[in-house]
């Protein structure tokens, strides 16, 4: 057999939805995929980074028992690898005297055994990633020899030390290329944000053409609380053209022959708002499935945020499984109640209506002494929101629905929300979606028919906690606010830079101060589904007592 | 001048309480200390790691403007350094093409200028530390030459790659020792936990004797939200004997002549419970001071947790600034109300009494339809706690007190608490103190006179949310529970290991499952003052949807 001529390798890209720490389920999925790939005469099947444990396992990696279980499961999986080889990610123990205790590794399985272990060299430790918290970076790399081919195997970030942002001194492919490999495989756990699909494709294309080698890239799909993995596993030829993909946001087993250039070339081309929509639906679906819940509850105000959250939940869980709770106060307008009910009716979802007024009055009666000689203000406004929070949580405790939080990113940024009130819930669906994007999402949801009442989209936003209240009483117009927030949060511009871009100085100072003094509120919000490059939560870690631009 | 004989260097150890991002205040403190040290004829003054910004600045380090400001402030401070030199920590820019954008640095200031910059080599990235998130590790190290002396300057972790736990391959002192330095200086930001003072001393002694050099060690004091810095800056001679210290938990300027062996030798010797007490009081004090607040509020149940929280707050803020709020429900016993009132009376603190019953009844009236044919259970129990949460937050919004959370670590671990109810507040004072330690703390607080009513200490713990409820109805005895939790959380033992240590299998499985399924609750709790090696919060990062031992 002359290498590269007669030996045509058929490779299966296994894009699966793993569940962190759920070893039996992950192993079963992996074994089923191996079996299916073998039936399809594949020579090699490739799974994602840390597939056996799910990604990110976070501090579960600090438990020896967790690490041992990972290894044992992969050993078991290896026993299925006869007539087919597999590559699968797992954590392994660093047996050297110095350095961190673990490696982020890939195992090459063949002939019923773990044949070799390959360790990750570049450990992303920024934004949502904490890999150097756990792993020692590898500094030596070797190709896999299989069926007369040499495979340059790398793990996710190993390929990402791109020219424009070379944050690592090391370069795993520089070692591997010396062995003159036939093609590259990169196993990944690369979460979604709206620019990630284009950025990822351009990195993979850069590397395929730089090394003049075909590249097989296998990613996870599925959501692990905040992080949503979009998949988009793919195979590229040495020119960087797409030979095959696994699509986005779904489990998929795709086959490719790297030597076969007759396959149709694919392209990735989806609008950002469509991507956000798909990501959020998957984020909700997996949060419930992985926690073992089926029913959600949303407080419906008649406003745009709760309407969009509700519609997304209905899509993810089935409209019959999403309960709308209308909790009008004396300041709620009639149209708000009508709009909220109309939304639920459009979807045929159940509702409860629970007024706030009587409970609010009970509080005021009890608080009469301490509140003597004070006037209606923030305390009373927030109390209405907190009564609503208590309603939702009490229903949740009684009936087992998870409450979905409806705060958007603009509100979360400036602290325009009530802790334990509208900021309650198990998962924040829109917490990484600016208000201006929420409107776009609403229109996108309504593109085929009106699900969200037009009035919820078109009316001026209001918290309705005092008479005739409008968001614009306290905040700049959302177009202006979101533009300033995006410059500060995503781009990390200085006040001076933002002002020089044409924004009014006093508005900029006010907004940045609001962002910084509200870290204490964001600290206690539910986990937020991440769809941008910089979401609140694990990817943005700020001191609470800090005093900066505030 | 013959080095080491006639030139006796007088060194000032400046142990200061910095405020993250509060550049003007930090710079003023530093300049005042330089001025005082100069008046005392010191040759050199040493400040802590990242002193100019406060530690940890976290993602503020991602703002170019923040980094530039740090450098400008240190340049300004340098202008004060005439006739005295200074060493001070700051972040600086990595000008190399590859690697992370920043270094964690120390500047040597003399003759009115920044004379040299020295970068940190070992970057702690575990537990509460995230340094590789921001910084490139330095790989070359040079001594400072000053007054005919060579000073081996390192930054915190640079000295901590100890034999028993060598998680780094590099060793900065191995390079520096080749220059034959006269002594070592280590500037640090080393937060407190109950074992840290002993561990720190033993590391410093190991290094002083290993290199046979005197060692000056300067740490921060003060709390930055969760992290409490205890100080304990010190100078050791080459035998590892303590020549001088700055004490713990207070700002201090201490002077030392390393050549002077006539100074009295000091020892560190304080009981753990005394340390926890000091740490928590400082933690509360700084949280309020750094946020600009003066008054706290605590919901007083008559139980031990709220009593201890209240007493600590009274010590930190003045008893007159701590408001006790008694919120009895129909299930509260008379003695609970009496005990709560007695505590406030002992301290001469103000109280409000706000019953829960009428508001609870209002909720039940409104919920009559959805709750038809259901029986009193968890939903109704939690509702009482949430009414209390709403009371506290409403009073907080009205009068500007910060609510202190009273949950202990045992409860937080097993999820024995109500989200948005008793889990509310701005800061969790006892969230890293197991229940069994809370009792010890109560007795310690009462050591001179009875502050906490004896009955609050001696009675069996109860949430009093249903008739005759006791914690022991749902949980193992706290001695047993805490022992299992400590093995799982602090020591990260496997179920098997804990069972083999003699704990009943079903109890172990139940407790570990409770810990793991309650990550979602802990995600939304207030920041917790850290006093152990493994506190809930930033130092323990767990997946919410994970399924492991659950």
Q: Does B543 sit within 8 Å of A58, measured CB to CB?
A: yes
d(CA A365, nearest CA chain B) in Å: 9
Counted across chains A and B, CB pairs separated by less than 8 A come out at 273
Which H or E element spans position A381? helix A378-399
Please give the average per-residue pLDDT across A104-131, as a whole number: 98
Active site residues per annotation of A? 49, 120, 156
Q: Which two tokens stand for residue A107?
A: 């195992």
Q: Does B359 sit within 8 Å of A362, measured CB to CB?
A: yes
Q: pLDDT value at position A165? A: 87
Q: pLDDT value at position A232? A: 95
Say how far apart CA A252 and CA A256 lie, in whole Å: 13
Query: Closest to A367 (Cβ–Cβ): which among B166, B354, B492?
Result: B354
- The pLDDT tens digits of the residues spanning A373-424 come to 999 999 999 999 999 999 999 999 999 999 999 999 999 999 999 999 999 9
Please give the average per-residue pLDDT across A207-215, as a whole number: 96
Angstrom distances, CA of residue B447 to CA of B210, B322, B429, B531: 42, 21, 20, 21
Please give the average per-residue pLDDT across B82-109, as a whole number: 97
Q: Does A363 sit within 8 Å of B391, measured CB to CB?
A: yes
Report residue A268's pLDDT band, with 50, 70 and 90 as the boundaries.
low
Q: pLDDT value at position B3? A: 37
In chain A, how long is the greatest CA-to-CA distance? 94
Report residue A6's pLDDT band, with 50, 70 and 90 as the boundaries.
very low
Q: Does B547 sit within 8 Å of A21, measured CB to CB?
A: yes
Q: pLDDT value at position A270? A: 74
pLDDT score of B283 more than 90: yes
Q: Which two tokens stand for residue B160?
A: 């901590």
Q: Tell which residue, A291, A44, A314, has the closest CA to residue A153.
A: A44
Closest chain B residue by Cα to residue A227: B543
Q: pLDDT value at position A163? A: 83
Say how far apart CA A202 and CA B258 lie, in whole Å: 59
- pTM of this prediction? 0.97
Q: Does B362 sit within 8 Å of A359, measured CB to CB?
A: yes
pLDDT score of B262 more than 60: no
- The pLDDT tens digits of the residues spanning B407-441 come to 999 999 999 999 999 999 999 999 999 999 999 99
* B546 contact residues in A (CB cutoff 8 A): 19-22, 54, 57-58, 60, 224
d(CA B478, nearest CA chain A) in Å: 24
* A496 contact residues in B (CB cutoff 8 A): 65
* A541 contact residues in B (CB cutoff 8 A): 58-59, 130, 538
Q: pLDDT value at position A5? A: 41
d(CA B359, nearest CA chain A) in Å: 5
**Residue of B223, B288, B548, B550 best to disrupt the A interface, most CBs of A under 10 A:** B548
Cis omega before residue A463 (within 30°)? no
Q: Does B386 sit within 8 Å of A366, measured CB to CB?
A: no
pLDDT score of B269 more than 70: no
- The pLDDT tens digits of the residues spanning A474-491 come to 999 999 999 999 999 999
How much of chain B exceeds pLDDT 70, in percent? 97
- Averaged confidence pLDDT in chain B: 95
Please give the average per-residue pLDDT across A334-345, as a whole number: 95
Q: Which residues pair with A45 in a beta bridge?
A: A12, A86
Question: How far from chain centre, in Å, is Cα A3?
Answer: 41
- The pLDDT tens digits of the residues spanning B288-303 come to 999 999 999 999 999 9
Q: pLDDT value at position B268? A: 61
Q: pLDDT value at position B1? A: 33
Q: pLDDT value at position B270? A: 73
Cis omega before residue B385 (within 30°)? no
pLDDT score of B354 more than 90: yes
Q: pLDDT value at position B412? A: 98
Q: Does A394 sit within 8 Å of B367, measured CB to CB?
A: yes
Q: pLDDT value at position A223? A: 98
Are B45 and B33 within 8 A, CB to CB? yes
Report residue B5's pLDDT band, with 50, 70 and 90 as the boundaries.
very low
Say how far apart CA A351 and CA B119 lie, in whole Å: 61
Say how far apart CA B106 and CA B153 lie, in whole Å: 8
Please give the average per-residue pLDDT across B201-212, as a whole number: 96
Report residue A8's pLDDT band, with 50, 70 and 90 as the boundaries.
confident
pLDDT score of B2 more than 70: no
Query: Closest to A60 (Cβ–Cβ): which among B369, B523, B542?
Result: B542
* A542 contact residues in B (CB cutoff 8 A): 58-60
pLDDT score of A57 more than 60: yes
Q: pLDDT value at position B164? A: 84
Q: Tell which residue, B70, B152, B155, B158, has the closest CA to residue B114.
A: B70
* B351 contact residues in A (CB cutoff 8 A): none
pLDDT score of A7 more than 70: no
Please give the average per-residue pLDDT across A157-175, as a whole number: 93
pLDDT score of B137 more than 70: yes
Say how far apart CA A192 and CA A309 lie, in whole Å: 19
pLDDT score of B264 more than 90: no
d(CA A275, nearest CA chain B) in Å: 23
Query: Closest to B133 (Cβ–Cβ): which among A125, A380, A544?
Result: A125
Beta-carbon count within 10 A of A334 CB: 9
Please give the average per-residue pLDDT across B6-32, as a whole number: 93
Active site residues per annotation of B? 49, 120, 156
Q: Tell which residue, B274, B297, B298, B294, has the closest CA to residue B286.
A: B294
* A60 contact residues in B (CB cutoff 8 A): 542-543, 546, 548
Lowest mean pLDDT among A26-35, A89-98, A303-312, B254-263: B254-263
Q: pLDDT value at position B165? A: 87
- The pLDDT tens digits of the residues spanning B118-130 come to 999 999 999 999 9
Q: Does B21 sit within 8 Å of A547, measured CB to CB?
A: yes
Q: Does B100 sit within 8 Å of A167, measured CB to CB?
A: yes
Q: Tell which residue, B379, B309, B386, B380, has the closest CA to residue B343.
A: B309
- Averaged confidence pLDDT in chain A: 95
**ipTM of the complex, rounded to two decimals:** 0.96
pLDDT score of B193 more than 50: yes
d(CA B147, nearest CA chain A) in Å: 37
Say how far apart CA B301 and CA B384 lie, in whole Å: 12
Closest chain A residue by Cα to residue B124: A133
Q: pLDDT value at position A3? A: 37
Phi, psi of B5 (to 5 degrees): -110, -55
Are B81 and B34 within 8 A, CB to CB? yes
Q: Is B240 left (phi over 0), alpha (psi -120 to 50) or beta?
A: left
Q: Does A382 sit within 8 Å of B393, measured CB to CB?
A: yes
pLDDT score of A261 more than 80: no
Q: pLDDT value at position A87? A: 98
pLDDT score of B261 more than 80: no
**Pairing of β A234-236 and β A215-218:** antiparallel
Q: pLDDT value at position B163? A: 83
């Amino acid at each position: 057999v002359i290498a590269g001529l007669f030996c045509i390798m058929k490779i299966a890209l296994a894009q699966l939805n793993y569940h962190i720490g759920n070893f039996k389920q992950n192993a079963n999925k992996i074994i089923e995929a191996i079996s299916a790939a073998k039936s399809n005469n594949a020579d090699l099947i490739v799974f994602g980074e840390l597939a056996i444990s799910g990604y990110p396992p976070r501090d579960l990696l600090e438990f020896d028992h967790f690490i041992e279980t990972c290894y044992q499961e992969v050993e078991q999986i290896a026993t299925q690898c006869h007539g087919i080889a597999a590559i699968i990610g797992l954590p392994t123990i660093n047996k050297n005297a110095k350095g961190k205790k673990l490696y982020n590794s890939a195992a090459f399985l063949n002939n019923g055994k773990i044949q070799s272990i390959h360790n990750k060299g570049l450990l992303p430790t920024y934004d949502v990633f904490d890999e150097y918290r756990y792993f020692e970076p590898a500094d030596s790399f070797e190709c896999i020899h299989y069926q007369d081919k040499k495979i340059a195997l790398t793990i996710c970030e190993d390929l990402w030390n791109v020219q424009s942002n070379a944050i690592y001194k090391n370069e795993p492919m520089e070692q591997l290329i010396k062995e003159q490999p036939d093609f590259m495989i990169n196993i990944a756990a690369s979460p979604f944000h709206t620019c990630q699909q284009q950025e990822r494709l351009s990195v993979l294309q850069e590397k395929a053409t730089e090394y003049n080698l075909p590249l097989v890239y296998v990613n996870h799909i599925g959501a692990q609380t905040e992080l949503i993995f979009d998949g988009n596993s793919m195979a590229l030829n040495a020119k960087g053209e797409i030979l095959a993909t696994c699509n986005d946001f779904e489990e998929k087993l795709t086959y490719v022959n790297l030597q076969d250039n007759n396959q149709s070339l694919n392209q990735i081309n989806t609008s950002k708002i469509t991507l956000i929509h798909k990501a959020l639906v998957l984020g909700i679906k997996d949060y419930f499935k992985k926690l073992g819940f089926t029913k959600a509850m949303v407080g419906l105000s008649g406003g745009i945020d709760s309407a969009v959250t509700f519609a997304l939940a209905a899509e993810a869980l089935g409209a019959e499984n999403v309960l709308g709770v209308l909790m009008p106060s004396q300041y709620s307008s009639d149209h708000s109640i009508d709009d909220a009910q109309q939304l639920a009716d459009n979807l045929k979802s159940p509702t409860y209506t629970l007024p706030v007024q009587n409970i609010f009055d009970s509080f005021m009666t009890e608080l009469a002494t301490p509140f003597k000689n004070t006037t209606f203000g923030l305390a009373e406004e927030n109390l209405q929101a907190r009564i609503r929070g208590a309603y939702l949580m009490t229903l949740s405790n009684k009936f087992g629905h998870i409450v979905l939080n409806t705060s958007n990113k603009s509100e979360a940024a400036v602290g325009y929300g009530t802790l334990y009130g509208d900021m309650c819930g198990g998962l924040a669906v829109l917490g990484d979606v600016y208000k201006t994007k929420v409107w776009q999402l609403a229109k996108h949801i309504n593109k085929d028919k009106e699900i969200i009442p037009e009035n919820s989209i078109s009316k001026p936003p209001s918290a309705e906690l005092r008479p005739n209240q409008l968001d614009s009483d306290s905040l700049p117009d959302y177009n202006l606010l979101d533009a300033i927030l995006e410059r500060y949060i995503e781009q990390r511009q200085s006040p001076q830079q933002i002002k020089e871009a044409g924004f009014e100085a006093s508005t900029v100072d006010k907004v940045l101060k609001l962002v910084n003094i509200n870290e204490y509120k964001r600290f206690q919000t539910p986990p937020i589904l991440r769809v941008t490059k910089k979401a609140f939560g694990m990817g943005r870690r700020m001191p609470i007592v800090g005093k900066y631009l505030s």
